[in-house]
Structure 1
Amino acid sequence: MDSAFPIAELLPRIRESLAAHPRLVLEAPPGAGKTTQVPLALLDAEWLGGRKIVMLEPRRVAARAAAGFMAAQRGEAVGETVGYRIRFENKISAKTRIEVVTEGILTRMLQDDPSLDGVGALLFDEFHERHLAGDLGLALALDVQSGLREDLRIVVMSATLDGERLAQFLDAPRLGSAGRSFPVAVAHFPARREESLEAQTRRAIEHALAQHPGDVLVFLPGQREIARVESALKAGSGTETAAVVIPLHGELPIEKQAEALRPDPQGRRRVVLATNVAESSVTLPGVRAVIDSGLAREPRYDPNSGFSRLDAVAISQASADQRAGRAGRVAEGWAYRLWPESQRLDPQRRPEIAQVELAGLALELAAWGSEALRFVDPPPAGAMAAARDLLRRLGALDGEAIAPFGRRLLALGTHPRIAAMLLSPRADDERALACDLAALIEARDPLRSRSDALAERWRALAAFRSGRGAGAASRSALAAIDAAAKQWRRRLRLESAPPPDAPAHLLGDLLLHAFPDRIAYQHPGDPRRYLLANGRMARLFDDSALYGEPWLVASELRFEAKDALILRGAPLDEARLRRDFPERFREVDAVRWDPARRALTALRESRYDGIVLSSRPAGRPDPAQAAQALTDAVRELGLEALPWSDALSQWRERVRSLREWMPELGLPDLSDAVLLETLDDWLRPAFAGKTRLDALDQEALSSALRAALDWNLRQRIDQLAPVRIAVPSGMERGIEYRHGEPPVLAVKLQELFGLADTPRIAEGRVPLTLHLLSPAGRPLQVTQDLKGFWERTYPEVKKEMKGRYPKHPWPDDPWSAVATHRAKPRGT
């Protein structure tokens, strides 16, 4: 460890805190040394017991740099005591005890081994960036800590975040470190009238080089802007001779990234053009001036469209301060902001979970087996519902549970859409082509034109591979795409090379497995408009290369006021669509609810999924057809469209539980699958005379569901699986029934004094799972062995709780104590 870092004086307190408490919030500004010094300081902690420390680093550049710096401090190579794991790259060994990992790697570690065998601490670095995978990783880690690994330490580290709020959420101590910084003079560098960002940035760079010593760090939103500014500088007067221009972003090869992290070997001044990868975690030596565009490219989700897109958005004030601080790491510095001084920024960065598409998160939660996780900011309900709908279209979910295909998708470690496409082809040449498409979808656009044809991009890639000219495409971008495609083929253990040529529709035939909701059929009345499989509408550019295609699949869409705009796509073969998804083509007599007319309409429809291919009137619906139409609507929308009460949901779980525990009763199967299959039997009669879904109330739904059971059987259900049970305190407490799990009785510990054995139901066959609560209603113990709890665990609970709740009884002998739901009387 290096005592020159400001964090050094705080390290003993960090070790002491983690010895006493399993969680910690650590705030330290850039340059304090938290990323590289804290893991090293914890290696010999007694509580670690020789186990590993895993540190989550959001960015690949920072993960490599942090591991390299820590290894160098120990005089070792990366992969010995300190190593890293990132996508497609692994630098660890049997000796590694500090693993720096990126976000997807941590999630896979937790999913594959929830007990985290051999890991003693998880460190979440740069948590203020609030990436979705970081929030998920923390939620999973907290679940592991609370249920499986109370000894696991969790440290959340950040340069800029609301530490007090996070410490309260985690119920954790909060420590802060001073940074190592010099004064930074901040000024706003105004744009000229109608001046582009590139031109304004070039002027600011030339000013900084002329007026100040040292290197210049420039923050730009993305690779596109970096390339444009680099070109502008090369076309300018004298900048290239005054300084060497170096780009820095996450898609660069390792050696190019390393170039930005060290001084120029010839002693020249440097202008580093960086995305927000340089905002934290990595140190750029020699920087004395920062130029900040005030922009970052981040994903945004529009809940009205269901589509995500990368937008250049204004950064937060916290990010602006952090960027400016980069100029004061070695001496006094200067920061120039390219936005007006009057512009106000949001105080903190918005969490990604609130503004992106959530299919990956929904699949991870389905694999975990629970959505009842503690998130710093919970995922929006609407975005989660849309994500689950997509996963069902992909075949990843069976109802709410993960399907076997969903587990195969997760194993690939990429977005479920891309994973579904990679797993769909049978022939090796198509699998290799799918790897190309995965690389193209994930990469920046290699074309310099606005063409919406994905085939043009693939043909440019094929030309690049064959040594032919790349045309209007970036050779560096194609090289990166080619490398990523090779990684995917290696990941799939695929030896076949992609074909040298492929018809455009073959690309679409593969893409439809990634974007089943974006399969598009040409509108019969407007050849530029398309009906989407998810029921929405989209349109083409005026000069679209896809014009005239009857079927398309859109790999990229942009939501606009009326229709979505197809930014990129490929034609598909209807015969292939019918072969791969025959069940989605239907010819039906439909009675539909028309919201505009507020009436049912009978139609004869030819359909593919949500696309009506053709339709004609079929006359006035009779009452039976109306009831069937409403029943079909429930079949399409799902059982959640019905007005379930809590009492009816619990009654259903009681019946399902008793069906397992006492099969001799002959109770009906009330699973989702069976209820949906038998809607015509039990639900359609309840819609008699109704023309609206909301005309069915909770009472009518309850009567419809219970109608299959006679009165005697209903009485037996109440006796064998009661709603409530009397406890020794004299009170009645509710029993919660959960599908596939023992029933739960949550009760304060004092109410069970004197009770020796665990209560049972179903004629004594099923013990209740007791959630023993503190006087404040917080869980103390979960057990089905009450006797064992009194004998072995209660003395420790009493010792811990007696001081916390002195007004409540904690007798030495719980067997003979009087049960109560009250505190002790005053004076006792």
Structure 2
Amino acid sequence: MKQLPITQVLPELKTILNTSTAAVLTAEPGAGKTTGTPPAFLDEPWMAGKTILMLEPRRLAARSAASYMASSMGESAGQTVGYRMRNDTKVGPDTRIVVVTGGVLTRMLQSDPSLGEVGLVIFDEFHERSLHADLGLALTLEAQAVLREDLRILIMSATLDSGRVSAMLGGAPVVNCPGRTFPVETVYLPGSGDRQLEQAAAAAVRRALAEQPGDVLVFLPGEREIRRTGRELESGTLPPGTVLRPLYGQLPQVQQDAAVAAAVPGERKVVLATSIAETSLTIEGVRTVIDTGLRRTQVFSPRTGMPRLTTVPVSKASADQRRGRAGRTAPGVCYRLWSREEHARLQDDSVPEIMETDLAQLALELALWGAPAPEALLWLDAPPAAPYAQGTALLRQLGALDAGGAITPHGRSMAALGAHPRVAHMLLRAAELGAAPLACRLAALLQERDLLQGPAALDSDLTLRVEALLRFERSAADSGGADPAALRAVQRESRSFLAQLTAAPGAVPDNISLTGLLLSFAYPDRIGQKRGEGGFLRSGGRGAAMREGQPLTRSPYIVAAGIDDRAGQSRIMLAADLPEADLLKHHKDSLQEEREVYWDKESGSVQARRRTLLGALILKETSHERPTAEETEEVLLRIIAEEGLKLLPWDKATVQLRQRMEFLHGLRPDFPDVSEEALLSTLQEWLLPFIQGMRNLRDLQRVPVSRALEGLLDWNSRQLLDREAPAHITVPSGSRIPVDYSSPSAPVLAVRLQEMFGQADTPRIGGGKVAVLLHLLSPARRPVQVTADLASFWHSTYFEVKKDLKGRYPKHYWPDDPLQAAPTNRTRPAK
């Protein structure tokens, strides 16, 4: 312990935590912070009778840290130092330091918010920013503020924005500790065109074994790439004594320990690992790191409300952490399978999990805690609003939250399982049906990699995976072409889920036909209804398609468990058939009965139908009902509002009436407005009385629109309309000429010139405010002059016009003095 760099800063850290309740420790790789810090506080006065909780984001690191601290005390894990994680706990009555994973810390806080027996909570490797770490810190900070002023909090990391964290903790002191690392040379090996990842990684391993001493640690995105790289290495020649050791989260503990332990003398170890080996672990003997620069993470899609596992480039900080693994015990080399230019384009830090993952489980935990919204707690990065809202919407659909957002008894039972809310709900519903074992198998299958390999994996039917698992359980030798390692992992996880349901009613024999039903409990928003070849409409409202030729495409209803939403059209990757009888029986509380009165475009009439709905799905529909008169009138008004006034009969007189009213409204804003917009917004007032008893487009052609418009006018308004916007003007010849109001700003009077003889001035309307625009016509009713100034026309232009008209119409009357001439509507005035 004394030789570790962390010992240099422990006195300062003790002094701070003697007088303060929060501190931040940044320690470079190799400083010994993980295993050196917790024991240093056991004898502090404020720790009397208390324990230390240390959060480690990864299971392997948690178990390794606890074992190392215990061995340094001459003990084994479970005595002074122990650990707690899902399905694996080693603590005893004398345990003072408990290393926990994120989910366990959350459960401990939920069961005892005051953490009454805890004196110090340490958040190790906080830069990894797991969802549970962020949640655990938020809950611990509130517990400290409300219930435990004496509770200490220490946040530790090798790469961390200590300023932000310190500010979040109210200006907590920051202690910096140098590390104990050896120099590491960095070699960039950009990709060579079309080589696959496993081929590039294997080539780098062979080069490292030839050029460098010691063991090799290879960082790969996931288990699939580890297996492929392993096969690629095994298919070629390796130096004698070389052993391959995989290292990933779901690997059995014995194999994980073998990967971390020092190689047997005479052997060289090549560890093929995921990012699990990035921090907190010292893998004995490693002198070379090969980094593919990729990691696998779950990214949440607000567009679909679904998380998806995706492979992304690492950040610069993660790349530096990986590089540092080569210099823990001696000088080393890091081969990076990318270029310097690509490295410069990497993000500085990884995106916190809270910013890109499914937040349904976080929302459930906050509801259980009693927080009305995320804003009630302190966060380094607050949960994004859209994914959080979708998470709470899912919880309400699963019955975990009531309408007000408070947790329900069912929600408490879901939270107690610690599984994702979808899985927890499925397990609880299955237990009620006596189908818990099958549900546990499904839950495990959903969380693990696909059992099937090769062409068989292209079949989307989840029941094929269940059958393969059941065969394997009956006989481990019968993998049926499925992946034996994946089968074992699913079997372990399934048993783990079943252990949590010990209170479940007696189980019935596995009935694979229940697969779709159980799956529908987990994914009520992904129940799909067949619509066309290979296509399904999901109850959540979005469409999805299945690969052609799949037997499930013939199913009327399915449940989609795996969906690839990266393309424009979501593709169903994993699903199960859902019998309609099961759907109607077990989802009856979610069904909605809807009576809809609607406009049928095909028949051009109002129709009524009854529907049974599940979200966006129409399960049943009948259309033999007759809508009431009130319902019909409402739909007719709606369709007119949508389609416009063109659905009504507009004869010439009605058009003119409306134009006259528009003209007068332009002069008098208090006069009724009959513009398209105004009429459509007031259909209920002026049109409703005239469509009673009508049901279709043909009926609408009988609407007396003129009477309806006149209904907007009282007696005085009608008088005003006739007076100031007359339909006709009587001209000197005695003819009543209609006024054209099609341009409200300039009404037109089209009259033969001879009928205006003797009229000195232009006729005026609108209370004398508006002169009509005269279209003076020839005897053949062709325009010869347009004027709004009749007096000027008589004195000037008339004589030019007269010459032309007299030549073309010699039999007609063309006087020299039009103001003294007798007007006529015939060829010549009567004598």
Give the TM-score taking structure 1 as reference length. Answer: 0.72
Equivalent residue number for residue 388 of structure 2? 384
The correspondence for 1:515, drawn from 523, 535, 553, is 523
Q: How many angstroms apart in 2 are the aligned matches of 1:228 and 1:462?
A: 27
The amino acid across from 1:478 in the alignment is L
The amino acid across from 2:527 in the alignment is I
Equivalent residue number for residue 654 of structure 2? none
Q: How many angstroms apart in 2 are the aligned matches of 1:472 and 1:380?
A: 43
Query: Could you say what secondary structure the match of 1:342 adopts?
Result: helix
Equivalent residue number for residue 577 of structure 1? 583
Indicate conservation of the 8 Å contact 2:529/2:538, yes or no.
yes
Equivalent residue number for residue 162 of structure 2? 163
Indicate conservation of the 8 Å contact 2:300/2:307, yes or no.
yes
Report deviation, 1:50. Answer: 2.6
Unaligned runs of 5+ in 1: 595-599, 630-686, 691-828
Indicate conservation of the 8 Å contact 2:451/2:483, yes or no.
yes
- The 5 Å alignment of 1:166-245 reads 166-171=165-170, 172-239=172-239, 241-245=240-244
Report deviation, 1:591. Answer: 6.2
Give the direction of change, closer, same or farther, for the CA distance of 1:616–1:527 in structure 2 (3 Å limit). farther
Report deviation, 1:602. Answer: 7.7
- The 5 Å alignment of 1:91-490 reads 91-171=90-170, 172-239=172-239, 241-343=240-342, 344-370=345-371, 371=373, 372-399=376-403, 400-426=405-431, 430-448=435-453, 449-467=457-475, 469-490=478-499
Indicate conservation of the 8 Å contact 1:588/1:606, yes or no.
yes
Q: How many angstroms apart in 1 are the aligned matches of 2:483 and 2:246?
A: 16
Report deviation, 1:176. Answer: 1.1
Indicate conservation of the 8 Å contact 1:327/1:334, yes or no.
yes
What whole-Å deviation, never above 9, does each CA across 1:773-807 have from its counterpart, x for those lacking one?
xxxxxxxxxxxxxxxxxxxxxxxxxxxxxxxxxxx
The amino acid across from 1:174 in the alignment is V
Query: Could you say what secondary structure the match of 2:159 adopts?
Result: coil
Equivalent residue number for residue 76 of structure 1? 75
Q: How many angstroms apart in 2 are the aligned matches of 1:497 and 1:72?
A: 44
Unaligned runs of 5+ in 2: 601-605, 640-681, 686-831
Q: How many angstroms apart in 2 are the aligned matches of 1:347 and 1:623?
A: 63
Equivalent residue number for residue 559 of structure 1? 565
Query: Could you say what secondary structure the match of 1:161 adopts?
Result: coil
Give the direction of change, closer, same or farther, for the CA distance of 1:575–1:268 in structure 2 (3 Å limit). same
Report deviation, 1:592. Answer: 8.5
Indicate conservation of the 8 Å contact 1:6/1:178, yes or no.
yes
Query: Could you say what secondary structure the match of 1:398 adopts?
Result: coil
Q: How many angstroms apart in 1 are the aligned matches of 2:264 and 2:21?
A: 45
Report deviation, 1:501. Answer: 5.8
66-75 or 543-552: which moved more? 543-552
Report deviation, 1:444. Answer: 1.8
What whole-Å deviation, never above 9, does each CA across 1:597-644 have from its counterpart, x for those lacking one?
xxx998653422221346689989667679999xxxxxxxxxxxxxxx
Report deviation, 1:456. Answer: 1.3
Q: How many angstroms apart in 2 are the aligned matches of 1:340 and 1:234?
A: 27
Give the direction of change, closer, same or farther, for the CA distance of 1:497–1:193 in structure 2 (3 Å limit). farther
**How many matched pairs?**
623
Indicate conservation of the 8 Å contact 2:168/2:378, yes or no.
no
What whole-Å deviation, never above 9, does each CA across 1:473-515 have from its counterpart, x for those lacking one?
1112111211221222222116999877633x31111111111
Q: How many angstroms apart in 2 are the aligned matches of 1:263 and 1:591?
A: 76
The amino acid across from 2:484 in the alignment is R
Report deviation, 1:548. Answer: 0.8
95-104 or 434-443: which moved more? 434-443
What whole-Å deviation, never above 9, does each CA across 1:151-183 have from its counterpart, x for those lacking one?
100111111121112111212111111111111
Q: How many angstroms apart in 2 are the aligned matches of 1:349 and 1:601?
A: 57
- The 5 Å alignment of 1:805-816 reads none
Q: How many angstroms apart in 1 are the aligned matches of 2:216 and 2:633?
A: 76
What whole-Å deviation, never above 9, does each CA across 1:655-677 have from its counterpart, x for those lacking one?
xxxxxxxxxxxxxxxxxxxxxxx
What whole-Å deviation, never above 9, does each CA across 1:743-784 have from its counterpart, x for those lacking one?
xxxxxxxxxxxxxxxxxxxxxxxxxxxxxxxxxxxxxxxxxx
Report deviation, 1:97. Answer: 0.7
Report deviation, 1:195. Answer: 0.5
Give the direction of change, closer, same or farther, for the CA distance of 1:688–1:3 in structure 2 (3 Å limit). farther
What whole-Å deviation, never above 9, does each CA across 1:307-365 have from its counterpart, x for those lacking one?
10110111110000110011111111100111232111100111111101111000111
Report deviation, 1:93. Answer: 1.0
Question: Aligned residues: percent identity?
Answer: 44
Report deviation, 1:410. Answer: 0.5
Give the direction of change, closer, same or farther, for the CA distance of 1:439–1:498 in structure 2 (3 Å limit). farther
The amino acid across from 1:184 in the alignment is V
Report deviation, 1:568. Answer: 0.7
Q: How many angstroms apart in 1 are the aligned matches of 2:684 and 2:22?
A: 60
What whole-Å deviation, never above 9, does each CA across 1:134-165 have from its counterpart, x for those lacking one?
10000001111111111100111111121112
Report deviation, 1:192. Answer: 1.8
Indicate conservation of the 8 Å contact 2:534/2:545, yes or no.
yes
Indicate conservation of the 8 Å contact 1:7/1:33, yes or no.
yes
- The 5 Å alignment of 1:622-641 reads none
Query: Could you say what secondary structure the match of 2:168 adopts?
Result: helix
The amino acid across from 1:315 in the alignment is V
Give the direction of change, closer, same or farther, for the CA distance of 1:290–1:406 in structure 2 (3 Å limit). same
Give the direction of change, closer, same or farther, for the CA distance of 1:263–1:496 in structure 2 (3 Å limit). farther
Give the direction of change, closer, same or farther, for the CA distance of 1:581–1:184 in structure 2 (3 Å limit). same
- The 5 Å alignment of 1:667-816 reads none
Indicate conservation of the 8 Å contact 2:544/2:569, yes or no.
yes
Indicate conservation of the 8 Å contact 1:530/1:538, yes or no.
yes
Equivalent residue number for residue 574 of structure 2? 568
Report deviation, 1:572. Answer: 1.2
What whole-Å deviation, never above 9, does each CA across 1:101-154 have from its counterpart, x for those lacking one?
000000011111111111011100111111111100000011111111111001
Q: How many angstroms apart in 2 are the aligned matches of 1:201 and 1:581?
A: 50
Give the TM-score taking structure 2 as reference length. Answer: 0.72
Give the direction of change, closer, same or farther, for the CA distance of 1:426–1:87 in structure 2 (3 Å limit). closer
Query: Could you say what secondary structure the match of 1:273 adopts?
Result: strand
Report deviation, 1:190. Answer: 2.2
Indicate conservation of the 8 Å contact 1:161/1:348, yes or no.
no
Give the direction of change, closer, same or farther, for the CA distance of 1:94–1:86 in structure 2 (3 Å limit). same
Query: Could you say what secondary structure the match of 2:430 adopts?
Result: coil
Query: Could you say what secondary structure the match of 1:566 adopts?
Result: strand
What whole-Å deviation, never above 9, does each CA across 1:381-426 have from its counterpart, x for those lacking one?
1111101110011110002110110000001111111111111025
Query: Could you say what secondary structure the match of 1:397 adopts?
Result: coil
Q: How many angstroms apart in 2 are the aligned matches of 1:376 and 1:214?
A: 40
Indicate conservation of the 8 Å contact 1:462/1:500, yes or no.
no
Indicate conservation of the 8 Å contact 2:437/2:510, yes or no.
no
Query: Could you say what secondary structure the match of 2:255 adopts?
Result: helix
Give the direction of change, closer, same or farther, for the CA distance of 1:591–1:259 in structure 2 (3 Å limit). farther
